[in-house]
Amino acid sequence: MGSPRAALAELLAGNRRFVSGQPIHGHDVTAAAAAASGDQQPYAVLLGCIDSRVPLEAIFDQTFGSICVIRTGGHVLDRAVLGSIEYVVGQLGVPLVVVLGHERCGAVASTVDTLCGGRSPGGSLAHLVEQIAPAVTEVGVDDPRVHPLAIRRHVLRTVRALRADALLAAPVAAGRLAVVGALYDLATGEVALLET
Ligand SMILES: [Zn+2]
């Protein structure tokens, strides 16, 4: 593991590459695109995991102003997340909420480990485990495919919780808002919608 200073230097170097219009990772955005975004008119809000392999703007080939992105460990909901989504839907008129899970999610793995008798992680990380635990329990820790199945179940539970949210339920019922679940394939980069 490198030092915080080295990590910061690398991050800033990445920002300089971006500003100069010479990205090396192929994420096709430029400072000119940022300047041209004007008032934001996003058409979707994405809730995904913090996993560094799943950069949402990149994997959906988005540009500045096109989507709102919220990321938490295991895409766990809390009041700040819900308030953010309510803002985007209610104030910006966004018609689509996507919950994106991904394979080999560390937050789900930690939850499976804890429910299989491992030590609780403690701290606020325990909150993530508590929020993901119902999905793991529904699948059953003895299921040999508990990890991939719990990831799907957790996405679906998150979708249902959003559809039932006090300020989101009405636009969902009126057909003005869709809340969908999807999975990201780390190997192929493909996103597949889940039946909800
Ligand atoms: Zn994850």
Ligand 1 center–CA 71 separation, angstroms: 10
Average pLDDT, the chain: 87
Measured in degrees and rounded to the nearest 5, phi and psi for residue 178 equal -115, 140
Ligand 1 center–CA 174 separation, angstroms: 32
Tokens of residue 120, six digits: 């609780």
Ligand 1 center–CA 24 separation, angstroms: 25
Q: At what angle are helices 125-139 and 146-163 packed, to 10 degrees?
A: 110
pLDDT band at residue 82 under the 50/70/90 scheme: very high
pTM reported for the whole predicted model: 0.87
Query: At 47, which helix (H) or strand (E)?
Result: strand 44-48
Question: What's the pLDDT tens digit per position in 98-117?
Answer: 999 999 999 999 999 999 98
Ligand 1 center–CA 122 separation, angstroms: 18
pLDDT over 90, % of the chain: 57
pLDDT over threshold 50, residue 12: yes
pLDDT over threshold 60, residue 25: no
Contact call for residues 169 and 163 (beta carbons, < 8 A): yes
Ligand 1 center–CA 49 separation, angstroms: 5
Higher pLDDT, 64 or 106: 106
Ligand 1 center–CA 175 separation, angstroms: 30
Ligand 1 center–CA 12 separation, angstroms: 25
Tokens of residue 177, six digits: 């808002």
Question: What's the pLDDT tens digit per position in 36-49?
Answer: 777 778 888 999 99
The rounded distance, in Å, linking the Cα atoms of 157 and 154 is 5
Ligand 1 center–CA 54 separation, angstroms: 8
What radius of gyration, in Å, describes the C-alpha atoms of the chain? Answer: 18
pLDDT over threshold 80, residue 24: no
pLDDT over threshold 50, residue 75: yes
Ligand 1 center–CA 139 separation, angstroms: 18
Q: At which residue do the structure tokens 């920002």 appear?
A: 15
User: Three-state SS for 38?
Assistant: coil
The rounded distance, in Å, linking the Cα atoms of 127 and 152 is 19
- Can you point out the beta strands (E) in 54-95? 67-71
Contact call for residues 29 and 18 (beta carbons, < 8 A): yes
Between strands 178-184 and 191-194, the pairing is antiparallel
Tokens of residue 46, six digits: 């994405």
What is the tally of helices (H) and strands (E) in the chain?
Answer: 8, 5
Ligand 1 center–CA 80 separation, angstroms: 19
